[in-house]
Structures are given as C-alpha cells and as structure tokens.
Amino acid sequence: MSAAEERQAREERWRTSMAAAQDGDAKAYESLLQELLPEIRSLVRRRLPDEAAVEDIVQNTLLAIHRSRHTYRSERPFGPWMRAVARNAFLDHVRVRSRRVEREVPLDAVPEPADDPAPMLERVGLSPELERALAELPAIQLRGLSVAEAAVKAGVSMSAVKVRAHRGYRALRARLEGVEGFRDG
C-alpha cells in the first residue's frame, strides 16, 4: 500500500470512528483518540520545544476535540478538522500560560484524598469553620476521584487539576490560619 493510500485509509477510518463516536459509540471513540495520540503529540512537538509541556497540551487538545466533536461533519475530511482543533488548543495554551506564568505556584504532587475526612474533622472540632472555608473555596473537589476523572469532570487537563487542587489547599490553609485550634500539618 502506498503512503497516499495509507493516508486515505487512515482518514477514512478516522472519519468513520468519529461518526460512530458522535452517535455514542464509546469503543470507537476511545480507539480513535488512542490512534490520534501520536499524531497530536507530533503536532505539538513541532510547535513547542518545551518537552515538559507536551502532554499537558495533548490533554488540552483531547479535551477540545471532546468538547467540539459535534462540530465535525462526516462529509468533510477529519484530518483538517482535528488539526484545526489542535492548533486552537495550542494557541489557547500559549495565551493562558503567558497570562498565568508569573502568578502561578504549581504543585508537584497531589496527595490522595482521604477516604472519609468527616470523622477526623469532627475529632479535631473544626467542622463548622472548615465547612465554611471549604464552601468559600473556588477549587474543584476531588471527592475520591482519580486526577484523570476529576480532570474530565472539570473539563481541564490533569496538570490543571493538580494546580487547582494546590490553589485550594493554599486558600484553605490561609482561611484556617485564623481559626482557633487549627494546627499546621
């Protein structure tokens, strides 16, 4: 099979898989996204020398594909649609990054959430203050979800979940510092 024929066959496969995904076929969607991963990675690497940020942009691109999958029309080729989504996701990433780069303090690792924090909170007697502080937090709630689950639920990449969680912990700490009985650590 020549390279052109191979490209055409791949395009046809993508087109069919996306049409099936639009009808709710999760299996076709997962295999399509897995097949797109190397393509998206190479697109991102061509534009970005920073290897560390590649997976983050790849995830943002996957999210963008997921959110705009209804805009794909199966009578049109899939490749240009996917590349346009990837380009837009990349530009979004660059814009957001340049805006936040100076004020962001990221997190290296997010601790696993406690199975049930309620008994511990009752024990230390901080429940009302903590609840109030938690209610005021803009951070997303992990609530026993994995980072990947939380990311999909919140519509952001996994590193964005980690950064938000870190922001939440910092904000919570700041709010609780004035509460009597609060012990650091």
Given the rule CB under 8 A, which residues bind other proteins? 21-27, 29-30, 33-34, 37, 52-53, 55-56, 58-59, 62-64, 66-73, 76-77, 80-81, 83-85, 88, 91-92, 104-110, 146-149, 151-152, 157-159, 162-163
Round to whole Å and give the CA distance between 101 and 149: 26
* Least Cβ distance, residue 155 to other proteins (angstroms): 10
Give 62 or 176: the residue with its C-beta nearer to other proteins.
62
Question: How far is the C-alpha of 37 from the C-alpha of 103, rounded, in Å?
Answer: 31
Least distance CB 25 / other proteins (angstroms): 7
State in angstroms the smallest separation of the CB of 47 from other proteins: 15
Dist CA 64 CA 69 (whole Å): 8
- Please identify, using beta-carbon distances, which residue of 39 and 92 lies nearer to other proteins: 92
Distance CA 29, CA 18 (A): 7
Q: DSSP for 102-141?
A: TT----S-PPPPPS--HHHHHHHT-HHHHHHHHHH--S--
Pick 88 or 129: Cβ nearer other proteins: 88
How far is the C-alpha of 85 from the C-alpha of 72, rounded, in Å?
10
State the nearest-atom distance from the C-beta of 166 to other proteins, in Å. Answer: 8
Sequence-distant contacts of 5-14: CB under 8 A, at least 24 apart: 11/77, 11/78, 11/79, 14/78, 14/79, 14/82
Considering beta carbons, is residue 76 or 132 the nearer one to other proteins?
A: 76
**Which residue type occupies 176?**
L
Least Å from the CB of residue 26 to other proteins: 4
Nearer to other proteins, 62 or 126 (CB): 62
Q: How far is the CB of 90 from other proteins (least distance, A)?
A: 10
Nearer to other proteins, 89 or 133 (CB): 89
